[in-house]
């Protein structure tokens, strides 16, 4: 989620994190609604970290 997202504000992300079991929220600084494009390198690091947990389970 982007820190500067006007379409889905961080406050909405915080609500979703509380309501969705086992959810986690990462806010990318300076990014907008398309945070994965605005901060691609940081996004890829977060996704890789998330997927590492699944790799360990195999």
**pLDDT average, residue stretch 8-17:** 97
pLDDT of residue 54: 73
**How does residue 22 score in pLDDT terms, banded at 50, 70 and 90?**
confident
Say whether pLDDT at 55 is over 80.
no
pLDDT of residue 50: 87
Helix, coil or strand: residue 32? coil
pLDDT of residue 39: 97
pLDDT of residue 7: 96
Average pLDDT over all residues of the chain: 93
Do 34 and 2 form a contact (C-beta atoms < 8 A)? yes
21: left (phi over 0), alpha (psi -120 to 50) or beta: beta
């Amino acid at each position: 989620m982007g820190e500067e997202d006007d379409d889905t504000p961080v406050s909405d992300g915080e609500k979703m994190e509380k309501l969705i079991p086992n959810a986690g929220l990462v806010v990318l600084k300076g990014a907008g609604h398309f945070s994965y494009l605005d901060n691609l390198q940081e996004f890829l690091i977060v996704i890789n970290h998330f997927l590492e947990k699944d790799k360990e389970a195999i």
